[in-house]
A = this chain, B = another copy of it.
């Protein structure tokens, strides 16, 4: 998606340790018009696929999922990373290792918000090693919900996550697919 790639080139910052900072528009400050356009792009890509729910994970996924959900006209459910008083009752749980925070989380979704009736699109901001997406897919499998596909804003295509998700037979639509990045710039796959 050219609009997203242009934004990454213009406002993203590459740091040592394979870090791409996009906090200017995606995961600290949020450009809602960009996210709305991203949602409309996923809607176009998934035209003809039945989707009745969007599943994501707090915190950076929520804005992306909410603006995409407007285009799909479906509710969002976001998996929680903390045990909260808001989340009582039975939950589906999965373990996810976060390289960003260098720790393991248990992610949780209330059982009443995901069932075998659901046809789910899973959305997130980044895909690198795939741990977050795989945790969300695991939760859908526990619930008997059908994963109709995944979408991420930015895929680091030189890491394993995308391959692992696609080898499970799950459709994955990445709006910006990075083949390589360095001080010299970013190469996208087209």
Interface residues of A (CB under 8 A from B): 15, 19, 21, 23, 25, 27-33, 35-36, 58-60, 62-63, 65-67, 69-70, 73, 75-78, 80, 82, 84-88, 100-102, 109-110, 113
- Is the CB–CB distance between B101 and A32 below 8 Å? no
**Cβ-closest chain B residue relative to A35:** B66
**CA–CA, A86 and B126, complex, Å:** 12
Neighbouring B residues of A15 by C-beta, 8 Å: 88
A82-B101, A101-B84 known; A66+B32 contact, CB < 8 A: yes
**How far in angstroms is the closest Cβ of chain B from A35?**
7
Neighbouring B residues of A75 by C-beta, 8 Å: 25, 29-32
A80-B59, A101-B85 known; A69+B32 contact, CB < 8 A: yes
**How far in angstroms is the closest Cβ of chain B from A23?**
6
**How far in angstroms is the closest Cβ of chain B from A65?**
8
Neighbouring B residues of A35 by C-beta, 8 Å: 66
Neighbouring B residues of A77 by C-beta, 8 Å: 28-30
**16 A-B pairs whose Cβ atoms sit less than 8 Å apart in the complex:** A15-B88, A21-B86, A23-B86, A23-B87, A23-B110, A25-B75, A28-B80, A30-B77, A30-B78, A59-B78, A59-B80, A60-B86, A67-B67, A82-B101, A84-B100, A86-B100
- Is the CB–CB distance between A70 and B67 below 8 Å? yes
**How far in angstroms is the closest Cβ of chain B from A33?**
7
Neighbouring B residues of A84 by C-beta, 8 Å: 100-101
- Is the CB–CB distance between A66 and B28 below 8 Å? no
